Amino acid sequence: MKISPKIQKQAAQLRETINEHNYYYYVLDDPLLPDSEYDCLMRELQALEEKYPALITPDSPTQRVGATPLSTFSEVVHAIPMLSLGNAFKDEEVQDFDKRARARLAIDSIEYAVELKLDGLAVSLRYENGLLVTGATRGDGQSGEDVTQNVKTLKTIPVRLRGDDYPRVLEVRGEVFMPKAGFNKWNQQKIAAGEKVWANPRNAAAGSLRQLDASRTANRPLRFLSYAIGEVEGGDLPNRHSDILQRLQAWGLPISKYSEVVKDTQACLDYYQQILEQRDSLPFEIDGVVYKINQINQQETLGFVSRAPRWAIAHKFPAQEVLTQVVDIDVQVGRTGALTPVARLAPVNVAGVTITNATLHNQDEINRKDVRVGDTVIVRRAGDVIPEVVRVLPKKRPKNTQPYVLPKKCPVCDAEVVRIKGEAVVRCTGGLFCAAQRKQALQHFASRRAMEIDGLGEKLVEQLIDKDLVKSIADIYTLTHEQWAGLERMGKKSADKIMKALEKSKSTTLARFLYALGIREVGESTARILAQHFISLDKIMEATETDLVKIPDIGPVAAQYVVAFFKESHNMEVIQRLQAAGVHWVENEAAPSKAPALAGQTFVLTGTLISMPRRTAKARLEALGAKVSGSVSKKTNYVVAGEKAGSKLTKAQDLGVKVIDEDEFVALLEISPSP
């Protein structure tokens, strides 16, 4: 059907008008129209698009919902990692943070941007040429889940940016949350429907955003606030964080009205106290405030440490404490064999969360606090930290209570327990014989950051162990299709999926494999360092404690555990069985002699690479000992400029940083095979 220019213009004007009102309503919190008139405009546009489908554009206000439900979320790799923040719980820790930053910057005072720490779900929004193309969860910081269709349903998130001066690529980071009023109303509806209620607004926000059917997300009372940027190409931004936020608001992205700029740490602490007093009256949940050094060039100078920036810190609110009673004390056995006493509590509500358990840590802590079954205790909960018993109220203690002592045998496998000299932890000696450790070990092995065996979750692991189908993690690769299909809530299709996931997991990386083994003190970072340094698993297994402690960031404790792990014959047997089952990664034992060529070198990738995805390029650089940064500074050694390179290329040229094209980059990588 031919559409007249008049109709086309009418639709375009309606889209522009509705988007403008969305901006004033959701971003500026200053609506220009009553809801009834806004609804009339929306219905008029819907009627036009229904009559003339060719008028529908991807950024039309009517297209926020309508995509086909997904079967699963795909992965999105963050061009720049979404790092977590270091925490401060005392004023002195904030002052120490400021002191360290001033010393590194060699200045007397620092200007801070201060803002609320929202209790929701961190997300990344990627805009290209002003159009929202990807929405992703934070995930593990390196990659998250693709929730593009879901974030498009949030009216606080513009599908198209306002104006025309935005960068060609703009990644916006912020928090999706559920306001208290919406959370309470939603829970009331669930109660009326006889459904299970949400525990707290944070869980409600996370669960709502991760619906496979975007139309369900659209019905949830979610909001979004921007607090940072990630990757930016093809445009320049101000040199102050606070000014960048104002720019985001001008482009249609909501920001917090509670953010301020202050001059020193005392002003930061005053802001903290002010917000703490307002906490209960705020329309949404927060668990603290955040201090960010406002000058971007100072942020770049300070850089990052491990998973956190050196230029920002979260000042958490005091833990909330309540009274309850210890009903019983149980013992949990972890994947490393550690026995952890857990207090079973009479249910008590803390900030919208019902607490029924609290950790007692170890026997020393039980003795120090003298916690007994029947005691009335004060329980503390702070953010996501596991609740703990703070102290006992002896005057409320019932008569005839007995001091609690951890059992001398593992409550799961009945093996002897031991306490190593110098350690507070009591451990089961059952090793892989202990069913509890097998469950934990297998869950860890299959987890997303380890072998990433999709579908092998806690319930399935429990069945495998309880039915004695798996005695070591290697057994999962020998189970037949019939064995998988015979498990509860499984079937032919589910068995097909798990078999495919197992086959896919066999192709991994050395770093992931090391992490998956569950060696004590070997987390993701340590596993990556070991893999990059040694390249070969055989060389890691042969390494002595002396060899290991020579590696930066590998301490004596981690070195001791690594050596001890590979000395155990049953561990070696499991590794051999895993490799025999087909678990593999690219390994080149000759590479370490050449790796120093890029050790200590910092690279920045910009633009599009034709020969490989950016994730592969980053992995290959890291395998050669290089560091890959998301921003250009004087400390950058190389900038790799692909097609349509943006502002990073310009900045590199201004700073005199060496720029290489893709051909030069590929030639540089030839000193080592792709990891």
Alpha-carbon distance of 203 to 43, in angstroms, equals 33
Structure tokens at 290: 């955040």
In eight-state DSSP terms, residue 396 is G
Question: Residue 174, CB half-sphere, CA atoms under 13 Å: how many?
Answer: 23
- Going through 374-435 in order, the beta strands assigned E by DSSP cover 376-381, 388-392, 417-419, 426-428
User: By the 8 A CB rule, do 494 and 455 touch?
Assistant: yes
| Residues linked to residue 314 through DSSP beta bridges, in sequence order | 87, 290
Selection from 545, 625, 556 nearest residue 591 by Cα: 625
Q: What is the DSSP string of 434-488?
A: SHHHHHHHHHHHHSTTTT--TT--HHHHHHHHHTT--SSGGGGGT--HHHHHTST
Element (H, E) at 599: none
Q: Read out DSSP for 178-196?
A: --HHHHHHHHHHHHHTTPP
How far is the C-alpha of 560 from the C-alpha of 554, rounded, in Å?
10
For the purposes of burial, counting CB atoms within 10 Å of the CB of 151, is it exposed (0-12), middle (13-18) or buried (19 or more)? Answer: buried
CA distance 65 to 131: 16
- Closest C-alpha among 238, 249, 76 to residue 174: 249
**Residue whose token pair is 């069913």:** 435
Helix (H) or strand (E) holding 500: helix 492-505
Amino acid of residue 104: R
Angle at CA 370, nearest 5°, toward 367 and 372? Answer: 120
Q: At what angle do helices 662-669 and 614-623 cross, to 10 degrees?
A: 40
Q: What does the block give as tokens for 560?
A: 């001791």
> Is the separation of the CB atoms in 437 and 336 below 8 Å?
yes
Instruction: Answer yes or no: 196 catalytic.
Output: no
Which amino acid, one-letter code, is at 266?
Answer: Q
Q: How far apart are CA 518 and CA 516, in angstroms?
A: 5
117 CB-near residues (< 8 Å, 6+ apart): 286, 287, 288, 289, 290, 314, 315, 316
Token couple for 531:
């893999």
Q: Which helix (H) or strand (E) covers residue 112, if one does?
A: strand 112-118
Give the span between the Cα atoms of 73 and 75, in whole angstroms. Answer: 7
**DSSP-assigned letter for residue 260:** E
319, 387 contact by CB (below 8 A): no
User: CA–CA separation, 58 vs 190, rounded Å?
Assistant: 33
Contact 173, 229 (CB under 8 A): yes
22 in helix, strand or coil?
A: helix
Apex CA 582: angle with CA 581 and CA 588, to 5°?
A: 135
Q: What is the total residue count of the chain?
A: 675
Q: Which of 6, 51, 99, 117 is catalytic?
A: 117
Collapsing DSSP to helix, strand or coil, 96 comes out as: helix
Picking from 325, 320, 327, 331, the residue whose alpha carbon sits closest to that of residue 344 is 327
* CA 519, chain centre distance (Å): 22
Distance CA 675, CA 670 (A): 12
H helices of 279-401, in order, are: 296-302, 363-369
Active site amino acids: 117
